[in-house]
Chains A and B, each alone.
Chain A
Amino acid sequence: QVQLQESGPGLVKPSETLSLTCTVSGGSISSYYWTWIRQPAGKGLEWIGRIYTSGSTNYNPSLESRVTMSLDTSKNQFSLNLTTVTAADTAVYYCARAPVPSSKWGLDVWGQGTAVTVSS
């Protein structure tokens, strides 16, 4: 049973960088798209972007200038960096898995989510 667990600071100061890691357990990180999604309190889901096990990435155009994703296959982890954060980046951040081909399968495994607040 594959499980995902997000980790990282729950509080980030404005203008700083938000950094989160998702650890994959119970399965391989290979041959999947690894995805980040966020959800502000009381609002809908926003797709942030994804990274394939080859290292190729796709980012939401609205966040692309501030987002970087990376993968560490030796640790079965993938990470999100979001720079120059503001209060608008306050949200619950989820990591999730998408099997290949991603146009068919959707996000079949999700982490429990981690709340991040941007405040001084």
Chain B
Amino acid sequence: DIQLTQSPSFLSASVGDRVTVTCRASQGISSHLAWYQQIPGKAPKLLIYAASSLQSGVPSRFSGSGSGTEFTLTISSLQPEDFAIYYCQQLNNYRALTFGGGTKVEIK
């Protein structure tokens, strides 16, 4: 199975901050990666697909980059509604489309 390691697992930031979350894959997955946002008590929401493509309706302050084994999700200016848990998911190995462990973004 392909393992995904997210870092950090927790970060504290202020409104307006630039925030970066990293997702590392145990083997190369090309650009077959998605990012999700989950507000506690709610279903996850797709933010980014194909590593860097913004899902329709998602604010442009969210961006994704990377390919191969290292990927990043960046929030250019953190807003109050962005405090949530973020997950990456690899879409390369269809036998087990694993998720990363999550990164919780909290208010400083």
**A interface residues with partner B (beta carbon < 8 Å):** 35, 44-47, 50, 58, 60-62, 94, 102-108, 110-113
Contacts of B46 in A (CB 8 A): 106-108
In the complex, the answer to whether B91 meets A44 with C-beta atoms within 8 Å is no
In the complex, the answer to whether A58 meets B95 with C-beta atoms within 8 Å is yes
**B interface residues with partner A (beta carbon < 8 Å):** 1, 32, 34, 36, 38, 42-46, 48-50, 55, 87, 89, 91-92, 94-102
Inter-chain CA distance A95–B70, complex, in Å, is: 28
In the complex, the answer to whether A110 meets B44 with C-beta atoms within 8 Å is yes
Inter-chain CA distance A47–B55, complex, in Å, is: 21
Inter-chain CA distance A46–B1, complex, in Å, is: 13
In the complex, the answer to whether A61 meets B34 with C-beta atoms within 8 Å is no
Kindly list the 6 A-B residue pairs having the minimum CB-CB distance in the complex, ordered from nearest: A106-B34, A110-B43, A106-B49, A45-B99, A103-B32, A47-B97
Inter-chain CA distance A60–B92, complex, in Å, is: 14
In the complex, the answer to whether A47 meets B92 with C-beta atoms within 8 Å is no
CB-nearest residue of chain A relative to B92? A103
Contacts of B42 in A (CB 8 A): 112
In the complex, the answer to whether A106 meets B43 with C-beta atoms within 8 Å is no
| A44/B32 contact (C-beta < 8 A), A106-B46, A106-B91 known | no
CB-nearest residue of chain B relative to A110? B43
In the complex, the answer to whether A104 meets B102 with C-beta atoms within 8 Å is no
Contact partner, A47, options B38, B96, B102, Cβ 8 Å: B96
In the complex, the answer to whether A111 meets B94 with C-beta atoms within 8 Å is no
Contacts of B50 in A (CB 8 A): 104-105
| A45/B43 contact (C-beta < 8 A), A103-B94, A105-B50, A106-B89 known | no
Inter-chain CA distance A103–B30, complex, in Å, is: 10
In the complex, the answer to whether A47 meets B99 with C-beta atoms within 8 Å is yes
